[in-house]
Amino acid sequence: MQAIRVENLSPDLSGVSLVDIPVPFCGPGDVLVQVRAASLNFPDLLMTRGEYQFKPETPFTSGLEFAGEVLEAAPDSGFVAGDRVMGGNKTGAFAEIASVGADKLSLIPQGMDFPAAAAMGAAYSTAFTGLAELGGLEDGQWVLVHGASGGVGLAACNLARSLGARVIATTGSANKHDRIAELAQPDAVILAEGRFREQVAEITDGKLANIVFDPVGGDVFDESTRCVAFGGKLIVVGFTSGRIAEVSTNIPLIKGFSIVGLRAGEYARRFPHRGRAIQAAITKLAEAQAITPAIDRILPLSRWREGFHAMARRELVGKVVFLPGS
């Protein structure tokens, strides 16, 4: 079968290629899945460089998440051949066939196609864990979502609105403003440059943001400490800016806000009952058509390099989805 393999770590994808490899083995408790769609996430790009916190040994098959049909399943897995499933692991999704533990899969919400299912998992579990589970989002609150052109940022906007929040989306590119407004339908879209606190204050009538959802870090994080309402939460999701920010502890003390680190996958692993509850809540919202993943482009797996480069150049508004076997 064909798979995207990371043979060597490199800053320019020179150690990555589409190759033929053996079909993976279906071990005890595993499920073998015919991958119909797989979505690209920022950690996938970072792992080709060795810059992500999880560093698999090379060579490895790239890809965090996929959707497809069960080919073979262990008797006690809870799945049978033909089931339409979504999920994944830290690696292995960018292939024609994947083998994963049954606990890492769930049934695709009714009415959802494979590309949307592949694009939903990691982004929406991250958004839900950060906003609802850890952030305690309440109806009518203001949420400031940074990096709103990315899959996770768009998911956070979509989810926050579905839960009754008011949303301010930010972007680092003025060229993405209209597309974000169209896809995310926030209350406002602003440019995350310089001192944007005044814009946030004006939009919220001085209330500021109850929750700041920040996958960007760096200067955006620094300014976000001025945008959090008293008693609010600043959710640290990642550092796509490339700089890990620091904060003097007198700032959250004086302003009475919390800084909360978010690792949705690790949270679900440590608290599996909460992970199942989060997945059930997301499925319910999806089946009610309250949330819909935003997809920038769908590509055959043979054009994987185009998708990776578009992410590296920050051209995307939404997710890239690969179609293995095409």
Q: Three-state SS across 52-107?
A: CCCCCCCCEECCCEEEEEEEEECCCCCCCCCCEEEEECCCCCCECEEEEEHHHEEE
How far is residue 77 CA from its own chain's centroid?
26
The residue-averaged pLDDT of 85-113 equals: 94
For the chain, which residues make up each domain, given as ranges? Answer: 2-108+294-323, 122-265
E strand or H helix at 16? strand 16-20
Least confident interval from 55-64, 72-81, 230-239, 249-258? 72-81
Q: Helix/strand/coil (H, E, C) string of 127-189? A: HHHHHHHHCCCCCCCEEEECCCCCHHHHHHHHHHHHCCCEEEEEECCHHHHHHHHHHHCCCEE
Q: What percentage of the chain exceeds 90 in pLDDT? A: 92
DSSP state of 15: T
Residues 46-96 have pLDDT tens digits of: 999 999 989 999 999 999 999 999 999 988 889 999 999 999 999 999 999
Query: At 147, which amino acid appears?
Result: G
Place of tokens 């494979």: 114
- Common-topology check for domains 2-108+294-323 and 122-265: no
As a whole number of angstroms, the distance between CA 52 and CA 44 comes to 8
Instruction: Please answer whether residues 4 and 271 qualify as being in contact, where contact means their C-beta atoms are separated by less than 8 angstroms.
Output: no
Instruction: Please answer whether residues 240 and 217 qualify as being in contact, where contact means their C-beta atoms are separated by less than 8 angstroms.
Output: yes
Q: What is the pLDDT of residue 288?
A: 94
> What residues are paired with 236 via a beta bridge?
214, 261
By the 10 Å C-beta count (0-12 exposed, 13-18 middle, 19+ buried), 263 is classed as middle
Fold category of 122-265 in CATH:
Rossmann fold (3.40.50)
As a whole number of angstroms, the distance between CA 190 and CA 173 comes to 10
For 303, list phi and psi in degrees, rounded to 5: -105, 30
At residue 60, the 3 state secondary structure works out as strand
**Strand 142-145 with 209-214, pairing:** parallel
A 10 A CB-CB count for 297 gives 17
- Considering the entire predicted model, what is its pTM? 0.91
Instruction: Please provide the size of the chain in residues.
Output: 326
A 10 A CB-CB count for 227 gives 26
CA atoms within 13 A on the CB side of 64: 20
Q: What is the pLDDT of residue 22?
A: 96
Contacts of 266 (CB under 8 A, 6+ apart): none
Query: At 76, which amino acid appears?
Result: D
DSSP state of 194: S
Q: How confident is the model at residue 199 (pLDDT cuts 50, 70, 90)?
A: very high
Q: What is the pLDDT of residue 165?
A: 98
> What residues are paired with 105 via a beta bridge?
87
Q: What is the pLDDT of residue 75?
A: 86
Domain 2-108+294-323 CATH superfamily: Medium-chain alcohol dehydrogenases, catalytic domain (3.90.180.10)
Is the pLDDT at 221 greater than 80, yes or no?
A: yes
DSSP string, 17-50: EEEE-PPPP--TTEEEEEEEEEE--HHHHHHHHT
Buried b (16+ CB within 10 A) or exposed e, 100-110: bebbbbbbbbe
The residue-averaged pLDDT of 320-326 equals: 93
**Strand 228-236 with 60-61, pairing:** unpaired
Q: What is the pLDDT of residue 236?
A: 98
Least confident interval from 39-43, 75-79, 298-302? 75-79
The residue-averaged pLDDT of 112-130 equals: 96
Q: What is the pLDDT of residue 325?
A: 85
